[in-house]
C-alpha cells in the first residue's frame, strides 16, 4: 500500500550505493555508473540504485524497508514495471526530479500443521496455493466475520495496489490505482462458489484464511518470495508503521504505468 507523495518528502541526492541482479547487463551498468558517480556502502548512502528487473526491486525494497533510504531502479532485467529507463547520464538530475512514493507492506502471520508460527512481509501480495493435485478448501474471514464458509479453489491472493498488476492481474484480479486505500482479494481458479470473482477491501481490513482440510488438501502460503508449506491458518493485514520509499521519473510515474496497464489490450 502507498500514500501520496507529499511536498516534504526528501529529494535525495549525494552519496549513492548500487545493487545489481548479477546479470552481465546489470554488472556492466553498475561499472559504468560507479566510474561516473562513485559509490559508497549502502549504510552510508543517501539513495540506493537498483540495477536489474522487478525481482531485484522487490528484494531491495524488502532489504531497506524502514531505513528511510529511497530506492531508484533502472531496468537491466527482463521485466521492468517497477524500474525506470536505464541511462548512464544525468543521474543526479533525475534523482532530484523523481517522485518519491511511500509503500506500506502487508504482514502475513502463518501457522503450520506443527503449530509453528511465522511472520513475513509482502510488497506485492500474499498468496495461498494448493500443494497437491486436489483443490484447496478455505474459509475466508474479514475483520473476524466469516465471508466465505467454504472456498474451493487453486488458491487466493491478497494484493496491494503495487502488486495488483503482478500475480493478481494474471489471476484476473482488478488493477488498483497506486494511492487507493484498498486491497484486492482475488481467487485463483475458484470452483465453488464458481462465480465468485473476489472482493475489494479497505486497506485497514484484516483477512483471516483457514485451511479446512490441510492433510488431504495441503496448502502453501507466500509473502512475495517467502514461502511456508503445510499451513493451516494465515492472517494478512497492512503494516502502516513500516515504510519503504521507491522513486520514479516524473514523466513515467507509477500512476501512468498503472493507467497504461488498465487500457492495455
Q: Distance between CA 199 and CA 262 in Å, rounded?
A: 18
Question: Which residue among the candidates 8, 44, 46, 54 is catalytic per the annotation?
Answer: 54
Check whether 54 is labelled as a binding-site residue: yes
Residues 51-76 as b/e (b if ≥16 CB within 10 A, e otherwise) read bbbbebbbbbbbebbeeebbbbbbbb
Check whether 25 is labelled as a binding-site residue: no
Check whether 179 is labelled as a binding-site residue: no
Which long-range contacts (C-beta less than 8 Å, at least 24 apart) are formed by 181-184?
181/1, 183/1, 183/106, 183/158, 183/159, 183/207, 183/238, 184/157, 184/158, 184/159
Check whether 198 is labelled as a binding-site residue: no
Check whether 125 is labelled as a binding-site residue: yes
Q: Distance between CA 188 and CA 210 in Å, rounded?
A: 16
Check whether 133 is labelled as a binding-site residue: no
**Pairing between β-strand 117-122 and β-strand 155-159 as defined by DSSP bridges:** unpaired
Check whether 167 is labelled as a binding-site residue: yes
Sequence-distant (6+) residues with CB within 8 A of 188 are 127, 129, 153, 154, 155, 156, 157, 171
Does the annotation mark 90 as catalytic?
Answer: no
Check whether 165 is labelled as a binding-site residue: yes
Catalytic residues: 54
Binding residues: 54-55, 124-125, 154, 162, 165-170
Binding residues for NAD(+): 54-55, 124-125, 154, 162, 165-170
Amino acid at each position: 500500500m502507498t500514500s501520496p507523495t507529499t511536498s516534504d518528502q526528501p529529494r535525495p541526492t549525494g552519496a549513492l550505493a548500487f545493487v545489481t541482479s548479477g546479470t552481465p547487463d546489470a554488472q556492466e551498468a553498475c561499472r559504468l555508473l560507479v566510474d561516473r558517480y562513485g559509490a559508497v556502502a549502502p549504510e552510508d548512502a543517501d539513495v540506493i540504485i537498483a540495477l536489474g528487473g522487478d525481482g531485484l526491486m522487490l528484494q531491495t525494497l524488502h532489504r531497506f524497508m524502514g531505513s528511510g533510504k529511497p530506492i531508484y531502479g533502472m531496468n537491466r532485467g527482463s521485466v521492468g514495471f517497477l524500474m525506470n529507463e536505464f541511462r548512464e547520464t544525468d543521474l543526479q538530475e533525475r534523482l532530484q526530479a523523481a517522485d518519491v512514493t511511500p509503500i506500506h507492506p502487508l504482514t502475513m502471520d502463518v501457522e503450520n500443521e506443527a503449530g509453528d508460527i511465522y511472520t513475513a512481509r509482502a510488497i506485492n501480495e500474499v498468496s495461498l496455493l494448493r500443494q497437491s493435485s486436489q483443490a484447496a478448501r478455505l474459509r475466508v474471514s474479514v475483520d473476524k466475520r466469516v465471508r466465505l464458509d467454504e472456498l474451493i479453489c487453486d488458491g487466493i491472493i491478497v494484493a496491494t495496489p503495487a502488486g495488483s498488476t503482478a500475480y493478481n492481474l494474471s489471476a484476473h484480479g482488478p488493477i488498483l490505482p497506486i494511492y487507493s486505500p484498498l486491497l484486492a482479494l482475488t481467487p485463483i481458479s475458484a470452483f465453488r462458489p464458481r462465480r465468485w470473482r473476489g472482493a475489494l477491501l479497505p486497506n485497514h481490513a484484516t483477512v483471516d484464511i483457514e485451511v479446512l482440510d490441510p492433510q488431504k488438501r495441503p496448502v502453501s502460503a507466500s509473502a512475495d518470495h517467502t514461502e511456508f508449506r503445510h499451513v493451516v491458518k494465515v492472517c494478512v493485514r497492512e503494516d502502516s508503521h513500516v515504510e519503504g520509499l521507491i522513486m520514479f521519473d516524473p514523466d513515467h510515474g507509477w500512476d501512468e504505468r498503472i493507467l497504461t496497464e488498465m487500457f492495455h489490450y
